[in-house]
Amino acid sequence: MLLLISILSQDNALSIFDAKQEGGCSVWYVVDDGVMGGLSRGRLTNSDDGNCLFSGYVTTDNNGGFSSIRYSFDKKTVSEYKQIVFKIKGDGKVYQFRIKDNSRERYSYISSFETSGDWETVKIPLNAFYPSFRGYRLDIPNFSGNYMEEVAILIGNKVKESFALEIEKIYLE
């Protein structure tokens, strides 16, 4: 019965990213703290299973402290969906999932999630994403849930650490 519910749920889903589809990992790009003088280094490679592996290290040296990957796409109307869902295998660390409704805006809507070290399906309600710019929460409403034009995953836990996050798919339901 649970399998049937899962299949029905995915039929009503809007795919944002699937590592095994055309383009795969090449649609993402890495943005490290080097844009601000930091020394962190992230990379994106294909895993043995054909998923995307975001890995590297974060260092707070030289005012650094984050690594991220971003994926921009044609604006999607997402108002009929309630949550973002992603299938990942993490390393037990905390990451941020970020959404932009307009890729030209400097701020993002963010929500943090903790990984278990095993394959898992993470679900975050769209209305839980709050606006933030350079680590500061903004005094504007949470994500409206109307449009989406970019997603990103960021690690920046204010500690020196290596990281690895495998991403299979991201979708809305």
Q: What would the pLDDT profile of 7-22 be if each residue is shown by its tens digit?
A: 334 568 999 999 999 8
Distance, in Å, from the CA atom of 126 to the CA atom of 124, rounded to the nearest integer, reads 6
* Mean of all residue pLDDT scores within the chain: 92
- Looking at residue 161, its pLDDT comes to 97
Residue spans per domain, the chain: 2-172
The predicted model gives 103-109 an average pLDDT of 95
- Looking at residue 77, its pLDDT comes to 96
CA-only gyration radius of the chain, Å: 16
- Looking at residue 2, its pLDDT comes to 36
CA dihedral 64, 30, 93, 14 (to 10 degrees): 140
Q: What would the pLDDT profile of 42-88 be if each residue is shown by its tens digit?
A: 999 999 999 999 999 999 999 899 999 999 999 999 999 999 999 99
pLDDT above 70 covers a percentage of the chain that reads 94
2-172 CATH: 2.60.120.430
If one counts every other C-beta atom within 10 angstroms of the C-beta of residue 34, the result is 14
